[in-house]
Structure 1
Amino acid sequence: MTGFVIEQPGILTTLQDAGRFGAGRYGLTQGGAADSFAYQVADLLLQQQPSCQLEITLGGLQLQVLQPMVIAVTGAELPLWCNEKPLGWWRSHQLKAGQRLRFGMARSGVRSYLAVAGGIHLPKVLGSHSTVLREAIGGIDGKAIKAGQFLPVKARQLPYCLALPKTSWPDYAAPLTLRLVPGFQAELFSAAQWQQLTEQSLTVSQAADRMGYRLQAERPLEMDAVSLWSEGTVYGAVQCPPDGYPIVLLNDRQTLGGYPKPGAVVALDAARLSQRRAGQVLQFSRLDPAKLAAVRQQLQHDWQQLRLELYCC
């Protein structure tokens, strides 16, 4: 088994998979790829089950390939070169031993994904490769990728490369609507608060990372003093602290929280949020829980359609 060597780790590169589930009782969060859509498409382009991938934040990664392999790259739009020859995005590529892969800095979006046919082979921790830096778990010693590290790959060759049409690429610069499903604390928020929450425009603040995104607004919510017990948090939960600026909890969130929560954002929208930068505009819309089944059906339909759109390149 061989693989590739990290020459430059970039701003922040971590190993991620679909996530670590069932470990919340130990105080460990789920982790996993922040943009689940881009992550899943990378494996789809390689015709394989969910694998261990590199999540590249903002860019700067450079690595050397030690054996022929097939890769797929998705996510944030950034320049990509193989031996200084530009490569395309949202598609797979055949690489040769000795070639050097270099990622520039993202022009749109935040996180990119590099998957390898056959997968990166490292030991799992509690059933997952996902790196959570705060908990120092997963990946390699629970830390971000470093220069000089060797990543083993059990390479699998493919007879052709696949690509996703540009018409199906996500637009990470577009305004985003987050569908908010009311939760059991929804009644703690008045009709006026719900109206303000769902009608005003918000922007992503500088306090935005894999743990959660704090949102800013021209007028913060006026929060009543409410004493709540800390309780388990879920992916996409929206917390409203006393300052009135909502926080959307993401993959590396804390497992317990006590701020009032009007509800949780649909998972696909939370994944889209992870690709937004400080200053980008978004809005909440209230989604009736009775419509969730229709949302799931539409998502399944969209995935089937996306599979049909892939083409050989």
Structure 2
Amino acid sequence: MSGFLVKQPGLLTLIQDGGRYGHHRIGLTNGGPLDADAFKWANRLCENDLNATALEISIGGLVLEAQVDTILAVTGAHMPFKINGQEAQRWQGHKIKAGDKIELGFTTAGTRAYLAVAGGFQMEKTFSSTATVTREAIGGLNGQKLQQGDILACKSHHTDTLWALPESEQPDYLQSATLRVILGYQQHSFDPVQQRLFFSSEYTLTDRADRMGFRLEGQRIQSMLDGILSEGICHGAIQIPADGQPIVLLNDRQTIGGYPKIGSVIARDTAKLSQRMPGTKLSFEEISLEQAHNINCLAERRFITTALQRIA
């Protein structure tokens, strides 16, 4: 099957769908897009199933050559986007013809962009998902990041209708980020002073950040636990290792770990975190489980009810 030829793969471009679930028991992590919101918008703009396979482009540098006629949309980080050398708008659909050259330059705000095509990229699933996890070498194309010369298979698609997300609904990746946290069952191993220090301090995102987790630097906090038996780890868990500097665990995290955890960042805010560059200042805010449910329900409702603009 034809699709798109990878002329330049960029620094780190991965094939992702919504993620791989139900396999922690055999040690396989979730994978999937770090910014699920931008990923879903890319698919919605192409009128796809929201779980359809797309590309996650970190930092930029991707160049593709189309081999089919289709519809394409780019969302997420502010990466210069060109079609045949001409500037193109992100957050909207574009008609692509066979032979067209698609370029994404290097980001000026945010860190990850998402590129979707109508019908999604056609990839064989591994353990129920196409999500690439390079540490486990599964998903995508041979479990690796894109390489020059790869073919991204997709079907030809024709339509007279193109959609755009209103600018007012597009995220601002330059805003300061406050990460909302649900305290975990190990919260009592952090005394009230340590908890107050954690929630009242500002942390800096370090360059030790990847799809497994983001290390922060700032006020040191301590747990009364010297260590714990390894146990399952959820998305967004905030581990506190011996140096007292928080680590927020993300999609490609290990499935078990033995550091105390003060709580977990909600998924809507790990998406914000994943779009921040090293040096960004961050803070944490405690919320209840009920508040987290409300935040999630309202955001899902807004996504469903936000009207796209018809541009063709």
TM-score bracket, normalised by the shorter chain, equals over 0.9
Describe the superposition over 1:201-255 as per-residue Cα deviations: whole angstroms up to 9, x where unpaired.
11111111110011111x3113445231100111011101111110100000011
1:79, 1:106 within 8 Å by CA — same for their partners in 2? yes
Moved over 3 A (4+): 222-225
Equivalent runs, 1:114-193 vs 2, <5 Å: 114-193=115-194
For structure 2, list consecutive stretches of 5 or more residues without a partner in the other structure. none
For structure 1, list consecutive stretches of 5 or more residues without a partner in the other structure. none
Hey, what's the Cα distance between the residues in 1 that align with 2:100 and 2:292? 46
Equivalent runs, 1:1-313 vs 2, <5 Å: 1-49=1-49, 50-217=51-218, 219-306=219-306, 308-313=307-312
2:186, 2:262 within 8 Å by CA — same for their partners in 1? yes
Task: Tell me how far 1:262 sits from its aligned partner.
Answer: 1.2
Describe the superposition over 1:65-97 as per-residue Cα deviations: whole angstroms up to 9, x where unpaired.
011110010010010111101100111100111
2:222, 2:240 within 8 Å by CA — same for their partners in 1? no
Hey, what's the Cα distance between the residues in 2 that align with 1:168 and 1:185? 37
Hey, what's the Cα distance between the residues in 1 that align with 2:296 and 2:267? 10
Hey, what's the Cα distance between the residues in 1 that align with 2:143 and 2:171? 30
Distance 1:203 1:305, change over 3 A: farther
Helix, strand or coil at the partner of 2:110:
strand
Amino acid across the alignment from 1:121: Q
2:190, 2:222 within 8 Å by CA — same for their partners in 1? no
Amino acid across the alignment from 2:95: Q
Hey, what's the Cα distance between the residues in 2 that align with 1:227 and 1:145? 39
Coordinate RMSD, CA, aligned: 1.2
Hey, what's the Cα distance between the residues in 2 that align with 1:290 and 1:90? 32
1:52, 1:119 within 8 Å by CA — same for their partners in 2? yes
Paired residue total? 311
Hey, what's the Cα distance between the residues in 2 that align with 1:295 and 1:86? 36
Helix, strand or coil at the partner of 2:178:
strand
Task: Tell me how far 1:292 sits from its aligned partner.
Answer: 2.8
